[in-house]
Amino acid sequence: MFLPPGAGEQNEKDAEEKLRREAYSKIEGWASIAIPSEIRDGVDISAQEFQCGDPNCSPVDTAVTILFPSGGRGMLGLPMEAKEVTEEELTSAFPTKKVLEAWHRGEDAEWPPQLETNESELPDLRFEVGTRVLCRVGPDPVTGWVKGEITQLWYREASWPPQAWAPYKVHLDDGRDIFAPGDMDQVIKKQE
């Protein structure tokens, strides 16, 4: 039996979409559990991928939107595709109880917090300047990596808000200079 032209490609797209929806469902479940039980009723949680148009950031990010019955809402983002999100990564990026309670009351609360930060107050990173790394620059989790070398820790651009930092600036072997938006293996990893 022969498939019509393009049928195999459509089946592959359908399978990818099914995996993406399953990942959304897992993320939404984990997020629901992370919300304190006393304010969980009626909350609407939605996970969705979006493509970043900035060539210096992760090609596909996952956004989690939390909407409370009061109209209070918030969002968090993870610099990876939904299928790559783990419960631990979601939990580590999740708003604090104080922020969630403010959203529950319909109040504005900043997440992630926008604090005045100087470089000496930033956390330690996994890699040092000069470390040879692989950086995720394309959407494919297997072929979307480029070799490079870390040239700066806690990079920032003048146009960014004072509290915005990227963990690493990397000079890629193909000549581009980029920044890694997160210090996690889904974005940047040491060359073996």
> What are 95-136's pLDDT values in tens digits?
888 889 999 999 988 777 654 555 566 778 999 999 999 998
- Contact partners, residue 157, CB within 8 Å, separation at least 6: none
Q: Which of 169, 149, 173, 164 is nearest to 117 (CA)?
A: 164
The tens digit of pLDDT for each residue in 156-188 reads 877 676 677 888 999 999 998 998 888 888 889
In the block, residue with structure tokens 């993320």 = 27
The tens digit of pLDDT for each residue in 20-50 reads 999 999 999 999 999 999 999 999 999 998 8
| Distance (Å) of CA 179 to CA 34, 54, 77, 109, 124 | 30, 11, 17, 28, 17
Q: What pTM was computed for the model?
A: 0.59
Q: How confident is the model at residue 57 (pLDDT cuts 50, 70, 90)?
A: low
